[in-house]
């Protein structure tokens, strides 16, 4: 059984999708649809910008979604229909389109609004994200301030009675936001708070990689962007998924009766449970995963989750 998986922000790269665009009419049609709906030349966005310009959230998300949907348009005609779908963060918007929850046109409208809202939310530069690579247990927590992170869908560890490192920075906070695979977790928060968790990772013998992002994605810092996205999504037409879609919020299949605008809002402020999504798909019988979009970031994570899985 085959699952199609869709990458998120961070997979963008100058020139992405050009070979696909030049070789396949289906891909060109997706680019054309997106350009018409968004009012932007998406071929120029993907093919002609440098890495710095393309990495801006308002550009990266549209570029990643465009190439993912172009790849899906080509791939779905070349292989058996998927038995399951999943997307990483932004990639869940691609999965929603592939599942038939909304039209491609509305998918472009949704992603454009999402990108603009998130770009605005991180304009103050007071956010940071970092990948922690460590096999030792780590305490990953936030400064308890009533920010709404303590929920079943936001796993975290408290200080366990130890003096809180974040007392050195009264306004500092950080929390785990991406549970990617064994030994790899992404954290987000204020730059000072993220630095505290980076220090903890290094002390445990791990490595850290600060991401080229100025926002604390999937945290309370995105609450305003999430609310704006919910209101906008309420103007779109959604349908129940025609294919099982494993969501980042729970790692489980999205309910056919889900309130998708509210789901999208919660998705903005809660962590990406990617490892759980993959483990549940494998438990349901998925043996092959096709990364549908630019790059191979998800393929690498899946190989660390289950070495027996076939990944294309």
Name the residue among 269, 244, 261 with its Cα closest to residue 3: 244
Name the residue among 63, 306, 116 with its Cα closest to residue 229: 116
Strands across the sheet with 2-6, in order? 245-246, 84-87, 2-6, 288-291, 310-311
The residue annotated as part of the active site, out of 11, 55, 89, 94, is: 89
263 is catalytic: no
The residue annotated as part of the active site, out of 149, 218, 263, 294, is: 218
Q: Residues 111, 229: contact at Cβ < 8 Å?
A: no
Within 8 A by CB and 6+ apart from 72, the residues are 4, 6, 94, 97, 98, 292, 293
Q: How far apart are CA 83 and CA 39, in angstroms?
A: 34
267 is catalytic: no
Active site residues per annotation: 89, 218
């Amino acid at each position: 059984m085959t699952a199609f998986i869709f990458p998120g922000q961070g997979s963008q790269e100058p020139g992405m999708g050009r070979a696909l665009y030049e070789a396949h009419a289906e891909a060109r049609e997706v680019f054309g649809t997106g350009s018409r709906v968004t009012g932007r030349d998406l071929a120029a966005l993907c093919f002609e910008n440098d890495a710095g310009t393309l990495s801006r959230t308002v550009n990266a998300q549209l570029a990643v979604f465009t190439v993912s949907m172009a790849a899906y348009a080509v791939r779905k005609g070349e292989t058996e229909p998927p038995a399951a779908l999943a997307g990483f963060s932004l990639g869940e918007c691609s999965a929603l389109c592939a599942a038939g929850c909304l039209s491609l046109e509305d998918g472009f409208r949704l992603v454009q609004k999402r990108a603009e809202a998130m770009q605005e939310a991180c304009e103050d530069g007071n956010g940071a994200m970092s990948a922690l690579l460590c096999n030792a247990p780590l305490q990953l927590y936030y400064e308890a301030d009533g920010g709404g992170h303590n929920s079943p869908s936001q796993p975290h560890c408290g200080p366990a009675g130890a003096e809180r490192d974040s007392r050195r920075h009264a306004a500092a906070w950080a929390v785990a936001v991406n549970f990617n695979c064994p030994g790899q977790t992404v954290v987000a928060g204020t730059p000072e708070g993220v630095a505290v968790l980076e220090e903890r990772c290094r002390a445990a013998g791990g490595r850290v990689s600060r991401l080229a992002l100025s926002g604390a994605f999937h945290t309370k810092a995105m609450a305003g962007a999430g609310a704006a996205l919910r209101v906008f999504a309420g103007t779109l037409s959604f349908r129940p998924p025609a294919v099982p879609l494993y969501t980042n919020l729970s790692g489980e299949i999205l309910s056919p009766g889900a309130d998708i605008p509210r789901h999208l809002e919660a998705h903005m402020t809660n962590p990406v449970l990617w490892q759980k999504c993959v483990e549940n798909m494998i438990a349901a019988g998925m043996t092959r995963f096709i990364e549908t979009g630019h790059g191979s970031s998800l393929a690498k994570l899946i190989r660390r989750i289950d070495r027996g899985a076939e990944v294309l």
